[in-house]
Amino acid sequence: MARILIAEDEKNLQLLMKERLKVYYDVYVAEDGVSALSIIDDVKIDLLVTDVMMPDMDGFQLIRTLRKEGYTLPVLILTAKQSFQDKKTGFTIGTDDYMTKPVNFEELHWRINALLRRAAITSERKIQIGEVVLDENSYSIYNSDKQIELPKKEFELLYKLLSYPNMIFTKAQLLDDIWGYDSESGEETVKTHISRLRRKVEEFTEFEIITVKGLGYKCVLKD
């Protein structure tokens, strides 16, 4: 179970957040940035949810300190501060996501899961969906019955799509991300690689590569 830390000085909200999230995560709480730092130094925390306005050390100071000390855990700011400048400050100093109060707990759960998933992908260089594993170390996709090594570009396409399930990527986006901005390849190259990739991975029924007409492509996870 992932360990998350909630830094929030409003006691009632702190308790409510812990109660709502403890079903999904191992939840720690702190009333300010100083206490949060102490917990992070003692316990391996997987994700931090922090308010901005707190005594002793506010959320912005907390994030600056964490990044300066080399901590890479994902951080989600949850605050009543809604101005563009506040959001700009948050992202500039190293937050990964930003939500404003009042709290929608369902959305908060979605966002925490998304951040944890991306953090796992980055650190492990693997994506696992059910029994299927996409492994960047070997450019392969496998389960208990089958393993396929993919050409680099096909692997990178699939890795990109599966890193963001249900997100639509245009051919131009995929061309820039996978082949590079200065590539002489055209969008037809993306179409060709997607077609080859579909044929190779069709036996892995946990996901499907979908063409969104007039837009691009996405990966859909199946139940």
Considering the chain, tell me which residue range(s) the CATH 1.10.10.10 domain(s) occupy: 126-221
pLDDT of residue 63: 94
Distance CA 78, CA 57 (A): 15
Provide the pLDDT for residue 72: 86
pTM: 0.58
**Backbone CA torsion sign across 13, 14, 19, 24:** positive
Strands (E), 46-152: 47-50, 75-79, 97-100, 126-129, 132-135, 140-142, 147-149
Task: Write the pLDDT tens digit of every residue in 104-115.
Answer: 999 999 999 989
The DSSP call for residue 175 is I
pLDDT value at position 180?
Answer: 81
Portions of the chain given CATH number 3.40.50.2300: 3-124
- Answer whether 89's CB lies under 8 Å from 60's CB: yes
pLDDT value of position 60: 93
Written as six digits, the tokens of 26 are 């191992």
Q: Which residues does the chain have with pLDDT short of 70? A: 121-124
pLDDT of 123:
65
Determine the pLDDT at residue 206.
93
> What is the dotted CATH code of the domain comprising 3-124?
3.40.50.2300
**What's the fold here for domain 126-221?**
Arc Repressor Mutant, subunit A (1.10.10)
115-133 pLDDT per residue, tens: 988 887 666 678 888 899 9
> If we measure between CA atoms, which residue out of 14, 46, 18 comes closest to residue 32?
14
Which pLDDT score is estimated for 198?
95
218 three-state secondary structure: strand
